[in-house]
Structure 1
Amino acid sequence: MDKKKLITEVLKNEVVKALGCTEVGLIGYTVAKAKPEDVYSIKEIKLTLDKGTFKNAFSVGVPNTGKFGILPAVVGGLLGNKDNKLEVFKDIKYDEELEKFIEGKLKIEVINSDVYCKVIIKADKLYEAETKGSHSGKSMPENLKNAYKNLTLKDFIDYSDDIPEDVVKLIKETIETNKNLSTPEVPEDFVNLDINDEILNYMLKKTVSAVYNRMIGANKPAMAIAGSGNMGLTATLPIIAYDEIKGSDEEKLIKSITLSALTTIYSAYYSSYISAMCGCVNRGGIGAVSALAYYIFGTDKIEESIKSFTANLPGIVCDGGKIGCALKIASGVFAIYLSLHSKVPYTNGIVGKDFKECIENIGKIGQAMKLVDNEIIEILKRKI
């Protein structure tokens, strides 16, 4: 497969629409695939989740339920349509009586795995469903992932300069979908920022508002990148905000968002879809830095800006999806903006000599943090 076909296939697989946090979407979708016709015949639901899915679903808002966490995700799945996949909560009318009926029947097991959700429902018979490998269950073959990991920053820039029409359509949908999540603005009783820098202030408001809205369960989809809606928001909204305030150049915006998606996915492939390191900041941040440097300066400062970003925030932990993610994303936007206006030498810490080595080094740190996840899971379990 030639480079352009490979990149196109990866983009179409990794940029997908999701309603609500992708982990509660994963749970709801898998439950919907397994549910019996009569949900009140259920005697037990056993849910087996990987650590990352458990962590990210534990405290996050579930669209159209007014609730937070795993139980409403399960109930939402029982009410939802499996054909909606990661938009499974679309159009559901929440049922409090069903929640009360299910609550004592739900058993949860957490395992050490990549993205994984298995549902076994005991009712008039056994009903089972499983989703693994990615949130939609459709994952890229390892040989194509490895081929993608062997591409270069120049390959991604060249592709962004000559994007196939069907991908342009996907990127336009991504821009409009993610921009729509940035309203209403984040409430002032959660965070109240008014920074005396017009560009940074606008980037923060757009991005933080979108993440906050998504984490409280707003009934608006996001275009997820590499399995994460928040990562998709971080990788796109700072660039969208910059374009709105400084550019209004649709062609340049589309090229920049494409580059952001490509480098975000590349970063995820060197790490994982869910990890102990906050991917929304670290992987989505890499994408946003790449794209903003490209939008503002052309190709000359992309690598330099990525080195500066690598020197800053990698290592920030992921303790699950929740409204507090909006604060982590705020820190990420600060770091993204700062990286455009700083220069850190290769001799510093985990900074790589080039784009590829920076991504590899961040990925290695992420892999080394796996034990951190165990402690986070134990802390969460004590809250049940």
Structure 2
Amino acid sequence: MLKSDEKYQAYIQILKEELIPAMGCTEPTALAYGAARCREILGREPERIQVKASGSIIKNVKSVIVPNTGQLKGIAAAVAAGAIAGVPDKKLEAISQITQEQKEEIKKFLETADITVEYLDDGLNLDMVITEQAGADTARVRIANYHTNIVLEEKNGKILLEKPVTGDKEEDLTDRGLLDMEGIWDFATTCDIMEVKDILDQQIACNMAIAEEGLKKSYGANIGQVMLDAYDNRSGNRAVAMAAAGSDARMNGCEMPVVINSGSGNQGITCSVPVIEYARELEAGNETLYRALILSNLITIHQKTGIGRLSAFCGAVCAGVAAGAGIAYLKGGGMKEIVHTVVNGLSIVSGMVCDGAKASCAAKIAFSVNAGLLGYEMYVRGQQFRDGDGLVTKGADNTIKNIGRLGREGMRATNEEIIKIMMS
């Protein structure tokens, strides 16, 4: 792909927009970021905080530990951490530098402050409005459609910032509609690595570090450790176990950053760690690893574009089959192997539900990466799922489009029912 091609520059920008660092699950972290910015606008510590949040936000914050809070969970903990100790300029790392003294302040604040949470049912999957009050002063911040997209800032009734919100359109971001499998393959195999090396190096360093942490210590259900204990240390199983271990740590309070993908740390871990582990096992060179990671990251984003950032469709599925595609490339696979790995993998696990961020995400990651690996092994042995087999249709992009429709439209009612069950 030529650098003058519209897609070339767009793909670079998409990677820069999506592969960003975050500490902890991105939904509570986004709430903390919003609360920190709201406190900054208010100008002093709030006495009352009101949170209005979409169902998918509530679902993903309910059971996950908020880092740097002393193992606290939930929306109240997230906004308290942001309001007391958050640094808004750090965005999804807003609560990455909380001291022990501040942890105690957060606990005291939770005991004394008036914090209320309301379900915001306005048709958006990612929407949160945080209002903070102190005395006669009031500040309000709204984040919508993606985790750092502040669309409203207000103080004492005066609008300081306001952006239009048109459905779930991400109007400030590069057009993801430019992504397609052929373009991704062309870009990944020809691009100037130096233009994306820094963000990929950060992804390698951060995501492998938290995966190794997850194998060393006890986090959640320790799925990564179980995978290694129950099976063996072969490259395939170790790659799966490492990805699961990263999620074990991240979902259960580990205070280490992750480079995310499509707004999710779990997806960032899933589409990168297995590829990196395989590259080490195969002794692939750095350039080969970088190109495999470009493939895996962009294929993840391509799938998630149709589904949306938050859905009842588990995002680990997209990242797991994308990791399978990256591994197929490491094993010498070409365009055919890549697209059939994705289609086969999606056929195996599409429909796995997201019932919020929590310990079991690690197990879902393990199954999704295994589906990607199986998708590749099927194809190189002359086996594949074909046009007309369920959601599979001719052309990988068309199959991905079907999966997007399933995740965004078909599973909308499923998402609502999951939220009702969890809230009850």
TM range (shorter): over 0.9
Aligned pair partner of 1:153 in 181, 187, 193: 181
Shift of 1:344: 2.1
**Distance in 1 separating the partners of 2:233 and 2:89:** 45
- Root mean square deviation, CA, Å: 2.0
What TM-score do you get using the length of structure 1 for normalisation? 0.92
Alignment deviations for residues 177-233 of structure 1 (CA, whole Å, 9 cap, x no partner)? 111110221649644233246022211221011001000121111111111110111
CA contact (8 A) 1:307 1:352 kept: no
Query: 1:307 corresponds to which residue?
Result: 343
> Aligned pair in 2 of structure 1 residues 197, 80: CA closer, same or farther (>3 Å)?
closer
**Distance in 2 separating the partners of 1:62 and 1:151:** 34
Aligned pair partner of 1:233 in 248, 258, 269: 269
Aligned pair partner of 2:198 in 128, 148, 169: 169
Query: 2:155 corresponds to which residue?
Result: none
Shift of 1:140: 4.7
**Distance in 1 separating the partners of 2:36 and 2:365:** 31
> Aligned pair in 2 of structure 1 residues 107, 140: CA closer, same or farther (>3 Å)?
closer
Query: 1:113 corresponds to which residue?
Result: 124
Query: 1:247 corresponds to which residue?
Result: 283
Aligned pair partner of 1:77 in 82, 85, 96: 82
> What secondary structure does 2:313 align onto?
coil
Q: Does 2:212 correspond to 1:178?
A: no
Q: Does 2:253 correspond to 1:217?
A: yes
Structure 2 gap segments, 5+ residues each: 151-168, 379-383
Aligned pair partner of 1:47 in 51, 56, 75: 51
**Distance in 2 separating the partners of 1:38 and 1:122:** 9
CA contact (8 A) 1:160 1:255 kept: yes
Query: 1:348 corresponds to which residue?
Result: 389
Q: How does 1:315-354 map to 2 (within 5 A)?
A: 315-342=351-378, 343-354=384-395
Query: 1:21 corresponds to which residue?
Result: 25
Query: 1:68 corresponds to which residue?
Result: 73
Alignment deviations for residues 232-271 of structure 1 (CA, whole Å, 9 cap, x no partner)? 1111111111112222421111001011111111111111
CA contact (8 A) 2:26 2:92 kept: yes
AA paired with 1:90? S
Shift of 1:166: 2.9
Query: 1:127 corresponds to which residue?
Result: 139
Shift of 1:15: 1.4
Query: 1:30 corresponds to which residue?
Result: 34
> Aligned pair in 2 of structure 1 residues 211, 314: CA closer, same or farther (>3 Å)?
same
CA contact (8 A) 2:320 2:370 kept: no
**Distance in 2 separating the partners of 1:149 and 1:270:** 9
CA contact (8 A) 1:277 1:366 kept: yes
Q: Does 2:405 correspond to 1:376?
A: no
93-102 or 76-85, which moves further after superposition?
93-102
> What secondary structure does 1:225 align onto?
coil
AA paired with 2:120? V
Percent same amino acid among aligned pairs?
26
Q: Does 2:75 correspond to 1:58?
A: no
232-241 or 246-255, which moves further after superposition?
246-255
AA paired with 1:141? E
**Distance in 2 separating the partners of 1:238 and 1:2:** 30
> Aligned pair in 2 of structure 1 residues 110, 369: CA closer, same or farther (>3 Å)?
same
AA paired with 2:273? L
> What secondary structure does 2:398 align onto?
helix
**Distance in 2 separating the partners of 1:159 and 1:227:** 22
**Distance in 1 separating the partners of 2:240 and 2:400:** 24
Shift of 1:162: 2.9
Task: Detail structure 1 runs of 4+ shifted over 6 Å in the superposition.
Answer: none
184-193 or 55-64, which moves further after superposition?
184-193
Structure 1 gap segments, 5+ residues each: none
Q: Does 2:92 correspond to 1:86?
A: yes
Shift of 1:37: 3.8
Aligned pair partner of 2:322 in 287, 302, 306: 287
**Distance in 2 separating the partners of 1:110 and 1:178:** 33
What TM-score do you get using the length of structure 2 for normalisation? 0.84
Shift of 1:143: 8.9
**Distance in 2 separating the partners of 1:200 and 1:295:** 13
239-248 or 255-264, which moves further after superposition?
239-248
The number of residues matched between the two structures is 376
**Distance in 2 separating the partners of 1:292 and 1:190:** 24
